[in-house]
């Protein structure tokens, strides 16, 4: 389990990302503009408990679940990723959204050993898969699965990833996300990367015929993500990546401009601070 590993600490002062008390609710719409996660108040918690049924945490009522979810998300936003992960896992499928996001962001930026990264992303995909079974009508059950599995596949060779059918699973999960939440900016970003990465790896003709990957779809989805979240560092980073995957050196300057935008944006939480750090590192 990832929770038993050593977790590197968030490398910045996180005091401005604390969101204590009502601060979390007030900032929620901006903090979750990318993933469209609903604010976990008591009404939302009651809905989740009813939907999860036997998979819901035993003996927990709506008020206590709401408080637990809010505390888990506070931990995530301030960069206490292990605390957020453990708290989410303790809540079963209902806590999978925060658990997988905490595990995924920490692994993306603060874990460098390839074997450990693969193990963690695989664990995240398993948690999300359980959430899909328990909460199939939650957009982020599907999105967290696509995110974790997509990151896992990036650690494999393209031949292994394609042979395992991972591309189709990621696309299916992203389509399910967007069916449930059409304005899910991060799913639009991920769908853009799905199309662009396949074209970048196997070419436009094979990518189109075999996997339905199209440059026009990549451009459409990243444009939507940028429209929905113009102040999100990751949207600009991935726009730069899409440009490089589709056009190579011809769009190097445009991609660098996107990384510069990401690096200049003021982060709202620990995740965005790590996104901005990454963008700056690509310009060195």
216 in Cβ contact with 231 (< 8 Å): no
What proportion of the chain, given as a percentage, has pLDDT over 90? 84
| Gap between the Cα atoms of 224 and 229, Å rounded | 9
- pLDDT, mean over the chain: 93
Q: Is the pLDDT of residue 1 over 60?
A: no
Confidence category of residue 208, pLDDT binned at 50, 70, 90: low
38 in Cβ contact with 180 (< 8 Å): no
pLDDT digits (tens, 9 = 90+) for 216-249: 999 999 999 999 999 999 999 999 999 999 999 9
| Residue 17: CB atoms within 10 Å | 23
Lowest mean pLDDT segment, chosen from 4-13, 77-86, 91-100: 4-13
DSSP string, 118-132: HHHHHHHHHHHHHHH
Q: Is residue 71 exposed (0-12), middle (13-18) or buried (19+ Cβ within 10 Å)? A: middle
In a 3-state reduction of DSSP, which class is residue 190? Answer: helix
In a 3-state reduction of DSSP, which class is residue 214? Answer: coil
- Quick one: tokens of 171? 């696309």
Q: Is the pLDDT of residue 206 over 70?
A: no
DSSP string, 99-122: HHHHHHHHHHHH---HHHHHHHHH
| Gap between the Cα atoms of 17 and 79, Å rounded | 8
> Taking Cα atoms as reference points, which of 129, 137, 159, 117 lies closest to residue 52?
137
- Quick one: tokens of 272? 């965005």
**Domains of the chain with bracketed CATH:** 17-141 (no CATH), 183-284 (1.25.40)
């Amino acid at each position: 389990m990832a929770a038993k590993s050593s977790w590197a600490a968030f490398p910045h002062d996180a005091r401005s990302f604390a969101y204590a008390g009502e601060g979390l609710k007030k900032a929620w719409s901006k903090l979750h503009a990318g993933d469209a996660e609903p604010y976990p108040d008591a009404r939302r918690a009651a809905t989740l408990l009813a939907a999860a049924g036997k998979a819901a945490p035993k003996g927990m009522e709506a008020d206590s679940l709401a408080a637990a979810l809010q505390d888990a998300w506070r931990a995530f936003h301030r960069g206490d990723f292990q605390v957020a992960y453990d708290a989410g896992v303790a809540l079963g499928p209902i806590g999978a959204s925060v658990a997988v996001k905490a595990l995924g962001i920490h692994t993306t930026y603060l874990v460098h050993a390839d074997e450990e990264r693969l193990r963690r992303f695989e664990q995240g995909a398993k948690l999300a898969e359980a959430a899909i079974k328990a909460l199939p009508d939650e957009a982020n059950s599907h999105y967290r699965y696509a995110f974790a599995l997509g990151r896992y596949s990036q650690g494999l060779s393209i031949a292994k990833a394609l042979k395992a059918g991972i591309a189709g699973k990621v696309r299916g999960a992203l389509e399910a996300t967007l069916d449930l939440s059409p304005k899910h900016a991060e799913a639009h970003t991920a769908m853009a990367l799905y199309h662009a990465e396949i074209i970048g790896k196997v070419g436009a003709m094979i990518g189109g015929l075999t996997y339905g990957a199209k440059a026009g779809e990549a451009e459409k989805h990243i444009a939507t993500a940028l429209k929905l979240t113009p102040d999100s560092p990751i949207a600009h980073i991935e726009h730069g990546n899409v440009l490089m995957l589709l056009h190579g050196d011809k769009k190097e300057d445009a991609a660098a401009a996107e990384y510069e935008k990401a690096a200049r944006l003021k982060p709202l939480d620990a995740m965005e601070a790590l996104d901005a750090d990454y963008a700056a590192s690509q310009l060195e």
